[in-house]
């Protein structure tokens, strides 16, 4: 009996705290473009519509998520989920859906166009270079077309939509990683890889510029991850001839390539900032936010090291390139929270959580996200919060 009122008070308090600090009011919605790092269900919906199933959409993917499989390329939540939670906004719903819905209601607080496997460059452009994408043709420009086409149904006329876009936090990426991933795995020459960089960056920049013209006031543009630390690349590209970073065990060549992409991107973003000083053009340094973990995984509770995949096969990196996570012959670790790498390409929820915190509550965004919108509500419950 005495318990009940106390519980009620606690609930009321939680409810009020939620109301006061939950939605900190900086952004009314989140609009997202990108690939598997941000896809909250689009590829899953597309594959249902086209009657194709991908391994990444089946269990054990999503095993740590509230309701199991969600179409996310991880065991649980992604960076975008932690960002939405920290801003007091709902998890960003995928744009692609089977049933007819009221877009104005469904997407009032956010809409996600990111598709797992997506490239920045159109499939046709990549195909002309012999790079075929087995997963999807929903490149950044295709996603942006979806966005423009769906806008009237989400926000109404041009001036109302300008308002919607202006009050949204817009995430353009991470995108571009896959443009390089396919050629890296196909082992195309390095020159070929480098020649893609200006094309990829130009595509990202032109979408950013168009969004600004449409009224965007705050955009986050993430760079690439240190792909040389991913077990699939360590397995596919590792050899005695390769240079390994002694501090992390990552492949130096691939990490330097990611940094090159990031440098070119940042140079272009600086130019946009000069032209549009009133727009918040935020660079999100995924590379260094992740490297912080790769340099000292133990410090963050990743007792199984940073380079072995939780879900995969045999070998030094738990990785078998012909039998990927989700395949019958693969195994899943018992404690994904002790691994950085989920399936060889994507990270675990635990790693994404720390990266999200490094980015949106820490120093890995330029200008600092916190200085524009204090993410005072960034909630990190459980074991992880104490180790950060």
Ligand X SMILES: *[C@@H]1O[C@H](CO)[C@@H](O)[C@H](O)[C@H]1NC(C)=O
Binding footprint of ligand X, residue count (CB under 6 A):
20
The residue among 215 and 363 lying less far from ligand X, judged by its C-beta, is 215
Tokens of 172: 């353009």
Q: Which stretch binds ligand X (CB under 6 A): 15-23, 140-148, 220-228, 279-287?
A: 140-148
Segment contacting ligand X (CB under 6 A): 69-77, 94-102, 153-161, 247-255? 153-161
**Nearest distance from C-beta of residue 386 to ligand X, angstroms:** 37
Residue closer to ligand X (CB basis): 178 or 280: 178
Q: Which residues are catalytic?
A: 36, 343, 346
Distance CA 354, CA 337 (A): 11
Query: C-alpha dihedral over 347, 62, 173, 353, to 10 degrees?
Result: -50
- Exactly one of 23, 69, 122, 366 binds ligand X (CB under 6 A); which one? 122
Choose, by CB under 6 A, the member of 141, 245, 259, 368 that binds ligand X: 141
Candidate list 161, 185, 214, 323; residue touching ligand X; CB under 6 A: 323
Q: Residue 256 phi/psi, 5° resolution?
A: -65, -35
Q: Which of 53, 160, 210, 243 binds ligand X (CB under 6 A)?
A: 160
- Rounded CA-CA distance 165/161 in Å is 6
Provide the token pair at 24: 């900190």
Is residue 123 a contact residue for ligand X (CB under 6 A)?
yes
The smaller minimum CB distance to ligand X, of residues 165 and 293, is found at: 165
Q: Position of tokens 């054990």? A: 60
Strands 331-332 and 365-366 turn out to be unpaired
* Residue 329 is a binding residue for ligand X (CB under 6 A): yes
Q: What is the maximum span of the chain, computed from C-alpha positions, in angstroms?
A: 73
CB of 59 closer than 8 Å to CB of 202: no
206 near ligand X, judged by CB under 6 A? no
Contacts of 327 (CB under 8 A, 6+ apart): 55
Q: Based on CB atoms, which residue is closest to ligand X, 158 or 270?
A: 158
Specify the residue, 54 or 364, whose C-beta has the smaller distance to ligand X: 54
Q: What is the spatial distance between Cα 350 and Cα 387, in angstroms, rounded to a whole number?
A: 12
Residues 174-193 that bind ligand X (CB under 6 A): none
Interaction pattern, residues 271-310, with ligand X; x per rule: CB under 6 A: ----------------------------------------
Which residue's CB is nearer to ligand X, number 185 or number 323?
323
Q: In the bound complex, what is the minimum distance in angstroms from residue 364's beta carbon to ligand X? A: 31
In the complex with ligand X, which residue's Cβ is closer, 26 or 237? 237
- Could you tell me the two tokens for 113? 């166009």
Per rule CB under 6 A, is residue 313 in the interface with ligand X?
yes
Residue 242 interacting with ligand X (CB under 6 A): no
Q: Does 153 bind ligand X (CB under 6 A)?
A: no
Q: Is 145 in the site for ligand X (CB under 6 A)?
A: yes
Does 322 contact ligand X by CB under 6 A? yes
- 344 is a site residue for ligand X (CB under 6 A): no
Where does this chain bind ligand X (CB under 6 A)? 122-125, 136-137, 141-142, 145, 156-157, 159-160, 313-315, 320, 322-323, 329
């Amino acid at each position: 009996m005495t318990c009940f009122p106390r519980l009620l008070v606690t609930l009321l308090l939680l409810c009020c705290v939620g109301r006061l600090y939950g939605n900190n009011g900086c952004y009314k919605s989140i609009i997202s473009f990108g690939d598997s790092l941000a896809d909250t269900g689009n590829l899953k919906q597309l594959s249902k519509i086209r009657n194709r199933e991908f391994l990444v959409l089946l269990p054990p993917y999503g095993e740590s998520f509230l309701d199991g499989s969600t179409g996310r390329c991880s065991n649980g939540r992604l960076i975008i989920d932690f960002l939405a939670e920290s801003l007091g906004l709902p998890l960003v719903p995928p744009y692609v859906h089977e049933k007819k819905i009221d877009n104005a209601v469904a997407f009032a607080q956010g809409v996600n166009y990111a598709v797992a496997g997506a490239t920045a460059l159109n499939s046709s452009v990549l195909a002309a270079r012999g790079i075929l994408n087995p997963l999807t043709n929903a490149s950044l420009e295709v996603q942006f077309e979806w966005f423009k086409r769906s806008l009237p149904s989400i926000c109404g006329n041009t001036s109302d939509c300008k308002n919607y876009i202006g009050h949204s936090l817009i995430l353009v990426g991470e995108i571009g990683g896959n443009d390089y991933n396919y050629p890296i795995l196909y082992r195309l020459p390095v020159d070929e890889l480098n020649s893609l960089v200006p094309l990829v960056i130009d595509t990202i920049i032109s979408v950013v510029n168009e969004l600004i013209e449409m009224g965007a006031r705050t955009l986050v543009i993430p760079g690439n991850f240190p792909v040389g630390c991913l077990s699939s690349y360590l397995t596919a590209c590792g050899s005695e001839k390769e240079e390994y970073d002694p501090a992390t065990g990552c492949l130096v060549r691939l990490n330097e390539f990611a940094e090159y992409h990031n440098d070119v991107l940042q140079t272009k973003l600086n130019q946009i900032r000069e032209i549009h000083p009133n727009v918040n053009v935020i660079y999100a340094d995924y590379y260094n936010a992740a490297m912080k973990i790769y340099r000292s995984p133990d410090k963050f509770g990743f007792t199984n090291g940073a380079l072995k995949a939780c879900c995969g096969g045999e070998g030094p990196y738990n990785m078998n390139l012909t039998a990927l996570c989700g395949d019958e012959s693969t195994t899943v670790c018992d404690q994904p929270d002790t691994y950085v790498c989920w399936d060889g390409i994507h990270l675990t929820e635990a790693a994404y959580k720390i990266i999200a915190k490094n980015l949106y509550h820490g120093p890995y965004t330029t200008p600092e996200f916190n200085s524009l919108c204090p993410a005072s509500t960034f909630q990190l419950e459980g074991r992880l919060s104490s180790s950060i």
